[in-house]
Chains A and B, each alone.
Chain A
Amino acid sequence: MERDNSKQTGWLDTAVAGIRFGPDRKAVRAELQAHLEDKAADFRRIFPDIAPEEAEARAVEEMGDAVEIGKELARLHKPWLGYLWRASKWIAILSVVLLMAINILNNDHYQSAGYPLWGGFSEVRGRTEGEKIQLGGYTFQIVGAAYLDYVQDWRGIEDRVQVYIRVSTPRFWERINEGALRSALTMTGPEGWVWSMDSGKVQTIWEEGRNELICGLQRAEWGLFHDTYVAYGDLEWTEGEPVCLEFDFGKGSFTLTVDQLERVVME
């Protein structure tokens, strides 16, 4: 019995020797062993008088040349795919655990380089879909325009225009530089009104102890592939008059115009 088992064992070892990836070798060996046992059982059923050792030996002979089978199995079972599968399993688990740990420890979600992957500071007013201009891999579009009309004698707050510009790019790792956008952008309005977004003008709301931006540029909202900025201008606007945003980058210049602004009465 020991000799025949060793014959079976020897045949199996030879047949799977070329399979270098451990789990595959183990699985194939188990399957071949099952085939050998089935064949031996068939022989014992067909020849009831046959000795068990002989049945197993004939089963081994029936399976064929172990060396040839081993070469074919080695050709079919590439080790690199197995190692890649195993490595990918552990790297995927590690990455997910690391992300979960960071989010739990930070007690915040979607944190990225100091601010969330998406969010907003203010709501976009006067939603619209303006013309799109592409430059340097970025798409510029006016997505909102509003005229904030404060009741004249109400706290002395200046009326102002808000124009929302969305800058999109599929390259989420290189969003537009806010400083460069400020330097490049100028708002123009009726009667020669001009303001360069490189600087800001604020109005102090004494009753509330805060400053409010009335000329300048601020981030309004953002997502993974876009940033939306709001450009403020303290110009007197009447219906039908266009407001223009002039962009002057090193790579080129263009102008976006908005004709219709939503009049928002601030009460």
Chain B
Amino acid sequence: MREKLRTRWEQSKWKARIDRLPRLWRLSRGKTLALNLLIIAVAGAWLWGLAGYPLPTAELEFRRLERQCLVPRSELVFAATAPERYEYVASPNDKTVTALDGTEISMNNWQFVGVTERLAVVAEVAQRGLGGYGTGLEHYVRDGTPLLLPLGGDQWSPLRGYWVTEEQKPGEVNYTYHGMTPLVLLDVPEEARRAEVSLELHTWEELLPYEAVCWDMGGGVWLVGAFREDEARPDRFAGGTYTLRLYDGAGALLLEREGAVPQPL
């Protein structure tokens, strides 16, 4: 078959026309290779652009977002990038982080928190190709004292998170979904063993109280999940207030603070 096709090509008019082309158009193998590589580079860059310039890892995407937002490169202290494992609950965009007590907490999109000497950077990066949206970054003043910040890259669109508890019963496993709005608590003293947070956030044009569950992520970083029994969700963080109490291992109060939810710079 190949020989037949080859013979037909050798006898074809097209080959005769190509053979008559001026020598200028018939490049050496080296020049043809160079031209091919140039075409591949241009077409490859174009196709990469069509796909939205994806980068191979979540952290590279975060670092690019830092550069695009002209914030200094930060030290990464929190990252929710692991894929969600509860297939009946999760969407492909959900990412998971595990607390020191083993609880897996999930949120939409990759979430990052980084710190510099004077700034705290909170970013949300949508993973391209999965229909995700909502990439954004905000940065806040950091002074070394405990700092409660909303997760997600937009104060005006509170993020939604959840964790799942499993209950083993004979012959079955029951999963319970717990929804919450995640925040992150930075610069928590090492000796803190328990944190209590309560908030008042704008919901349906009112300021409503929220309880919170707190997970130690290690390294002075805690994840705070704000929730209400009626499953209401806040509209925004601007104008919200919080009360924070930190306790040591013996149950003694280390710190008590009230304040407004910080505004990004």
A residues lining the B interface (CB < 8 Å) = 81-82, 84-85, 88-89, 91-92, 95-96, 98-99, 102, 111-114, 117, 135-138, 172-177, 179-180, 183-184, 248-252
Contacts and interface: CB of A to CB of B under 8 A. Distances in A.
Given A112-B49, A183-B265, A249 B71 contact: yes
Nearest to A172: B49
A250 B71 contact: yes
Nearest to A96: B43
B72 A250 contact: yes
B37 interface: yes
A184 B138 CA distance: 11
A95 B69 contact: no
B50 interface: yes
Interface stretch (B60-68, B90-98, B195-203, B205-213): B60-68
Contact of B68 (A84, A91, A175): A175
B67 A117 contact: no
B264 A135 contact: no
Given A88-B37, A250-B119, A173 B71 contact: no
Interface of B: 29, 32-33, 36-37, 39-40, 43-44, 46-53, 64-65, 67-72, 119, 121, 136-139, 153-154, 264-265
A113 B36 contact: no
Contact of A85 (B36, B46, B68): B36
B70 A135 contact: yes
Contacts of A180: 68-71, 137
B47 A99 contact: yes
B36 A89 contact: yes
Nearest to A173: B53
Nearest to A135: B70
A177 B153 CA distance: 12
30 contacts: A85-B32, A92-B39, A95-B39, A96-B39, A99-B43, A99-B46, A99-B47, A111-B50, A112-B46, A112-B50, A135-B70, A172-B49, A173-B53, A174-B68, A175-B68, A176-B70, A177-B68, A177-B69, A177-B136, A177-B137, A179-B153, A180-B69, A183-B265, A248-B265, A249-B69, A249-B70, A249-B71, A250-B69, A250-B139, A250-B265
Contacts of A99: 43, 46-47
Given A113-B51, A113-B53, A176 B68 contact: yes
Nearest to A176: B68
Contacts of B37: 88
Contacts of B52: 112-114
A98 B50 CA distance: 11
Contacts of B137: 177, 179-180
Instruction: In the A-B complex, list the 5 residue pairs whose CB atoms are closest, starting with the nearest.
Output: A250-B71, A95-B43, A180-B69, A88-B36, A249-B70
Given A96-B43, A113-B53, A81 B68 contact: no
Contacts of A102: 47, 50
Nearest to A180: B69
Nearest to A100: B43
Nearest to A179: B136
A174 B139 contact: no
B53 to A, nearest CB: 4
B39 A85 contact: no
Contacts of B40: 88, 91-92, 95
Given A81-B33, A85-B32, A183-B264, A177 B65 contact: yes
Contacts of A95: 39-40, 43-44, 47
A115 to B, nearest CB: 11
Nearest to B32: A85
Contacts of B53: 113, 173-174
Contacts of B44: 95
B52 to A, nearest CB: 4
Contacts of A251: 70-72
Contacts of B69: 177, 179-180, 249-250
Nearest to B264: A183
A241 to B, nearest CB: 29
Given A92-B43, A183-B265, A250-B265, A174 B67 contact: yes
A180 B137 CA distance: 8
B47 A84 contact: no
A97 to B, nearest CB: 10
Nearest to A87: B36
Nearest to A251: B70
Interface centre among A114, A137, A180, A251 (most CB of B within 10 A): A180
A37 B20 CA distance: 27
Given A180-B69, A249-B71, A113 B49 contact: yes
Contacts of A172: 49
Given A92-B43, A112-B50, 13 more contacts: A91-B36, A95-B39, A95-B40, A95-B44, A95-B47, A98-B47, A113-B49, A172-B49, A174-B53, A174-B67, A180-B70, A250-B70, A250-B71
